[in-house]
Amino acid sequence: MPVKPVPEDHNSVSPYIIVPGAARLIDFLKQTFEAAELGRMAQPDGTIMHAEVKIADSVIMIADASAEYGPMPARLHVYVTDVDSAYQRALQAGATSQMEPADQFYGDRESGVIDPFGNVWWIGMHKEDVSADELAKRAEAFAREQGHGDTQAR
């Protein structure tokens, strides 16, 4: 039987985050997003050569920074079932707030945090399906409120 080109339980694209203290990042993800650790390979010195965690249906790959592979923080968006709870868990796990949970004009409730390693996590929950026409109206109103004027192409 041929081997699948994408491993079981993986998507075609997976973020790969490289930070000093990868084990602590894994703990942060477990606490904040209830991530499941799929596996970890350690170097002889105990640092993590490669680890994988799964948040809902997505795998994130993680490693400790090294001389060969420097830190590579990321900006990620994670959909959850309860933004407010995930946001609070992130703060309890050592993150700093970038944006408190709030309903957005495009139909999501979102918040933002920066983890102790400099990664930015946007935490969202889809609350409302918004038609293209309604979205355009809301975007226009939002831009006016923000002082950006007309968003229509000229």
Report the C-alpha gap between 140 and 120 in whole angstroms. Answer: 27
**Sheet containing 48-55, strands listed edge to edge, beginning at the edge strand earlier in sequence:** 16-19, 58-64, 48-55, 36-42
Q: Is 85 left (phi over 0), alpha (psi -120 to 50) or beta?
A: alpha
Residues 46 and 79 in one domain: no
Claim to verify: residue 129 and residue 94 sit in the same structural domain: yes
Q: Are residues 66 and 88 in the same domain?
A: no
Residues 61 and 87 in one domain: no
Kindly state whether residues 58 and 87 are assigned to the same domain.
Answer: no
Q: Among 72, 97, 116, where does a domain finish? A: 72
Q: What is the pLDDT of residue 38?
A: 96
Residues 149, 93 share a domain: yes
Q: Into how many domains does the chain fold?
A: 2
150 in the same domain as 81: yes
Q: Are residues 100 and 140 in the same domain?
A: yes
Residue 149 has pLDDT above 80, yes or no: no
Rounded to 5°, angle at Cα 108 from 117 and 54:
45
Residue ending a domain, among 72, 103, 125, is 72
pLDDT of residue 150: 55
Return all residues near 92 (Cβ < 8 A) that are at least 6 apart: 31
Is 97 found in the same domain as 127? Answer: yes
78 lies in the same domain as 65: no
Q: Are residues 53 and 124 in the same domain?
A: no
Is the entire prediction scored with pTM above 0.75? yes
In order, the DSSP letters of the chain are -PPPSS-TT--S---EEEETTHHHHHHHHHHHH-PEEEEEEE-TTS-EEEEEEEETTEEEEEEE--SSS--B--EEEEE-S-HHHHHHHHHHTT-EEEEEEEE-TTSEEEEEEE-TTS-EEEEEEE-----HHHHHHHHHHHHHHTT----S--
Same-domain status, 51 and 119: no
What's the average model confidence in pLDDT over 30-53? 97
> 76: how many CB neighbours lie within 10 A of its CB?
16
pLDDT at 2: 87
Digit-coded pLDDT (tens) for 67-112: 999 998 899 999 999 999 999 999 999 999 999 999 999 999 999 9
Last residue of some domain: 20, 48, 72?
72
User: Domain containing 20: what range?
Assistant: 1-72
Output the domain CATH number for residue 92.
3.30.720.110
Whether the pLDDT of residue 154 is over 60: the answer is no
**Which of 87, 99, 72 has its CA nearest to residue 33?**
87
Banded model confidence at residue 152, pLDDT cuts 50, 70, 90: low
- What integer is the mean pLDDT of 125-141? 94
